[in-house]
Amino acid sequence: MSVIVDDATKRRLVYVKKLYLHGQEHISYQTEFDRLIAIHHFDNAVELLLKCIATQFDVTFDRPLHVSFYDLWERVNEKYQRNIGSELPKEAEMFQLHDLRCDVQHLGLSSFSSEVVTRSDVYVSDFVTQVMRDVFGIDFKELFISSLVKDTTLRKILATAEKAFEEEDYTKCVRYADAAFNEALSMQRERFGFSIFSVIEGTVEVLADIVLILALGIDYIEYAKYKKTSPPTYAKWNKEEERVSCVRLFVEVFAEQDTLLNKLYSRETAFFNLGFVLNCILRWHL
């Protein structure tokens, strides 16, 4: 039996994934402060998912803005048992995670190791994956942040990039993310009248791009890191073929035929590049 999920709930579920992925990103930075942020994001993802379940199962609260995590869990668990036939999974692990988050937020404590954060990552992933499937009939891996993008073309390119990431094809992910960024940047150039500089080569063109990047609210240090790790050729969306092609020295060639693009990208690079592009495009409301 198919599950009907309204658009508002789908959007909230996407935010659950975004919170979870932000937590994962902070783990990769390997600092004590980033471990604190990761724990915070993981716990927020779990709590938001519980609230989505409450909405789906018509769980009501007298004071919805003042419900504790444990009361929320208890009320949702009752409905979960009636509708699914079992209790919410990983109760002990989720309670331990929430206790850690409270220590972080209210006491400023960080007396846990990177191993604890890594375990929390695994537990939250397992919890979210199972619950989304049981309650909403949604595969967590197929829940794409790109669904929040308004522009049809950008959404299609980014969905391909996200799917490639989930399939561990990080090179394809980086290429498609770069194509989406170039497409979005072209749209913004046109929108703000910067397209005139595209016909000028040299210093003026470079300066115009720097001004545009800053005007669009992009952190230039983040942008520089992105450009350093993005493909060595210009990734472009080919509308006729509905695929990414690449431009190098004024000659367009498909990625499969271009030996220059055989560079393999790591998961960390793909994660950063895809996240950077998604954040930019969502910030620009495209």
Structure tokens at 39: 């724990």
Range in 15-29, 61-75, 200-214 the model is least confident about: 200-214
How confident is the model at residue 230, as a pLDDT?
82
Q: pLDDT band for 260, please (50, 70, 90 cuts).
A: very low
How confident is the model at residue 61, as a pLDDT?
85
How confident is the model at residue 256, as a pLDDT?
45
- Distance (Å, whole) CA 134 – CA 66: 27
How confident is the model at residue 213, as a pLDDT?
83
pLDDT tens per residue across span 13-43: 999 999 999 999 888 888 888 999 999 999 9
Give this prediction's pTM: 0.76
Residue 278: is its pLDDT beyond 60? yes
Residue 251: is its pLDDT beyond 50? no
Domains of the chain, first to last:
7-143 (1.20.120), 147-283 (no CATH)
Q: Which residues contact 10 (CB under 8 A, 6 or more apart)?
A: 147
Mean pLDDT across the chain, nearest whole number? 84
Structure tokens at 96: 């331990």
Q: Which residues contact 124 (CB under 8 A, 6 or more apart)?
A: 20, 23, 42, 45, 46, 94, 97
Residue that is written with structure tokens 């770069």 in the block? 178
Q: Going edge to edge, which strands form the sheet with 234-238?
A: 234-238, 243-248, 251-254
How confident is the model at residue 252, as a pLDDT?
43
Percentage of residues in the chain having pLDDT higher than 70? 83
pLDDT tens per residue across span 230-245: 876 666 666 666 677 6
